[in-house]
Structure 1
Amino acid sequence: MSSDRIVSLVPSVTDALDRFGVADRVVGVTTYCTHGAPDAAVRVGGTKNPDVQRIIALRPDLVVTNTEENRPEDIQRLRDAGLTVEETYPRTVADAAKMTRRLGELVDATAVAADLADAVDAAIEAARAAAPSTRVMALTLVWRKPWMGLGPGTYASDLLWTCGFGNVLSGYEADYPRLEAGLAFGADVALLPSEPYAFEDKDLDPVRELAGDVATRFVDGELLTWHGPRTADGLRTFSALAVELAAELPG
């Protein structure tokens, strides 16, 4: 399939397209596409509020979207305009490998994409093999004011599970449940990502007010949530962290 003009409404996809070697074909990106976007690409707004008419005016052969990142009404408007829209939604690290291969097919970069996907598959197997026998129970926070955590059924939760973490919010139905202070989470560690909310030292005391006297670790949010070429690095990073934390657990 020939896609000479591509619009990416997903930061991790923009990063992937650059790694595929096709960034020169990307004509439109969001304001949050901080890696791999060519200087000439038009910024078409945020992931939640893209300028649909501006995207249409770019006459793209392919628009890549994400079910979680982008609003369904915006995706439908793009389709109604006659554009070819690829809607991604990996929920597991295995899905990320499949998505990488699929994107490669769409932009004539099958060989490079296959290599990147193979690296993800290999990292999955390595992480599973290295996972500690006792899971490290993690409370992974994603937002403050209101407090929100990483629920089950999400890509990031699956990545952590693959590496040997347990999710203390696995009983929630929501992907990103709102949390209240004083709940008995039973976590061994609170993971504090750099995005979507950028946790810093100033947040440590409020985190302990929320979750009690629990160990904390600042982690790279991109390695945790950006599915695609960063998945393999994410698996290696969080696998090493799980092994490190497991060694510190009592007993």
Structure 2
Amino acid sequence: MRVVSLVPSLSEAVALTLPGLLVGATDWCTHPVGLEVTRVGGSKYPDLDRVVALRPDLVLLNVEENRREDADALTAAGVPVRVTYPRTVDEALTELADLLRDLGAPAEPEWLAVARRAWAGPPPDGPVRRAVVPVWRRPWVVLGADTFAGDVLRRLGVTNAYADGVERYPRPSLDELRAHTPELVVLPDEPYRFTAEDGPEAFPGIPCALLSGRHLTWYGPSLAEAPTVLGAQLADPVVSPGRR
């Protein structure tokens, strides 16, 4: 079987579990490190001619990561596609197990078994913190309702202030974000690369946790270590006295 993945987390999952199956991936598929496959452009705007030229038996996509028109174009070209859409950790673990089994994995990979154990326990002890979770700025975009990353944070003791809204990715003003008076601001390093110099300064006096976007938003092998990595980062926020 020949597989092309347009989803970074699935590229990592397939490459680690079934070496040799993956023949194409996006420019953003950075794991496993040193992955050597044909690159087919970005997740949002892949080179579909290059994808088709690889003669894939299956192309992997995700509702949030990829565009519907690209999935439709591949289907029209006679290329089978599989579209994923996990919005909780449990859904992600199930979809991964189903996908790898269907691709021919003889057994559940060790990294997936480790991930199941890592997420099987209760949330950590301590108070639940109410947070806003920007994923972009200029304009500001935040996590809203029914998102995978939101469920990851919930299971780590962080409540998303926008989780009860209608929109999945609201675009509030900075003044509105501040008006929520969050106890914590969560700033991942992807899709926008928030850093200590670009992000915390917008929230003076509020603790800001700089998180690994890969561990917060990828649903693949990174899930095995995500609770430990994210837990440590959430426990060590920075506070900026500045304002921009």
State TM-score, norm by structure 1. 0.86
- Separation in 1, partners of 2:172, 2:85: 25
Q: How does 1:1-251 map to 2 (within 5 A)?
A: 3=1, 5-22=2-19, 24-36=20-32, 40-113=36-109, 115-126=110-121, 128-132=122-126, 134-183=127-176, 184-204=179-199, 206-208=201-203, 212-240=204-232, 244=235
Shift of 1:163: 1.3
What residue ranges of structure 1 are gaps of 5+ in the alignment? 246-251
- Paired residue for 2:240? none
- Separation in 1, partners of 2:101, 2:200: 48
Contact 2:24 2:37 in 1 (8 A): yes
Contact 1:164 1:239 in 2 (8 A): no
Relative to structure 1, is the Cα distance of residues 219 and 196 closer, same or farther in structure 2, using a 3 angstrom cutoff? same
Higher helix fraction: Structure 1 or Structure 2?
1
Q: Which runs of 4+ in 1 moved over 6 A?
A: none
Question: SS of 1:74's equivalent?
Answer: helix
- Separation in 1, partners of 2:133, 2:101: 34
Query: 1:99-157: CA deviations, max 9, x gaps?
Result: 110121132124243x333322222222x25343x311121111010011111210000
Shift of 1:13: 0.7
Contact 1:131 1:162 in 2 (8 A): no
Query: 1:40-94: CA deviations, max 9, x gaps?
Result: 5221111111111221111111111111111011001111222221111111000
Bigger drift between 181-190 and 72-81 goes to 181-190
- Aligned residues: percent identity? 36
What residue ranges of structure 2 are gaps of 5+ in the alignment? 237-244
Question: SS of 2:82's equivalent?
Answer: strand
User: Which one-letter code corresponds to 2:132 in the other structure?
Assistant: L
Shift of 1:241: 5.2
- Separation in 2, partners of 1:173, 1:110: 41
Relative to structure 1, is the Cα distance of residues 157 and 131 closer, same or farther in structure 2, using a 3 angstrom cutoff? farther
Shift of 1:173: 1.7
Question: SS of 2:28's equivalent?
Answer: coil
Contact 1:100 1:229 in 2 (8 A): no
Shift of 1:207: 2.1
Shift of 1:227: 0.7
RMSD over aligned Cα atoms: 2.1
- Separation in 1, partners of 2:31, 2:232: 25
Question: SS of 1:202's equivalent?
Answer: coil
Relative to structure 1, is the Cα distance of residues 204 and 6 closer, same or farther in structure 2, using a 3 angstrom cutoff? closer
Question: SS of 1:94's equivalent?
Answer: helix
Bigger drift between 28-37 and 158-167 goes to 28-37
Bigger drift between 34-43 and 12-21 goes to 34-43
